[in-house]
Amino acid sequence: MRVIPVDVSAATLLVTKLPEVKVRDRQTGEVAVDPTTNRRLMVLELVFIAQGGSDMIKVTVPEPGIGEGLVMGGRRQVRTGCGSTTAASRHSASYF
């Protein structure tokens, strides 16, 4: 996965879809895992609001990277910001 640093210090992130286990192969049900830690990967969707605009983003993080008390519409504080572009206005970030 290509990793692109993202400055999120002035951004607001709102949860639009709660985390789900990322599936690597839908036919077999194989779960995706982080290649360095071997932890299950989780996917959640957020609205990224910054500089007067907003984008829907899909974020993939190892399961331990998801904090307690995550709720729909809740604001999320990001500890680090790495991301990779997947399509026009859809993005995917890892290890946040």
* pLDDT tens profile 78-96: 555 444 333 333 334 434 4
What is the distance, to the nearest Å, from the Cα of residue 32 to the centroid of all Cα atoms in its chain? 14
pTM: 0.69
* pLDDT tens profile 19-64: 999 999 999 999 999 988 899 999 999 899 988 899 999 988 888 8
Q: How many CB atoms lie within 10 A of CB 10?
A: 8
User: Among 17, 19, 76, which Cα is nearest to 43's?
Assistant: 19
For residue 63 the two structure tokens come to 């399961």
Q: What angle do CA 27, 30, 34 make, to 5 degrees?
A: 140
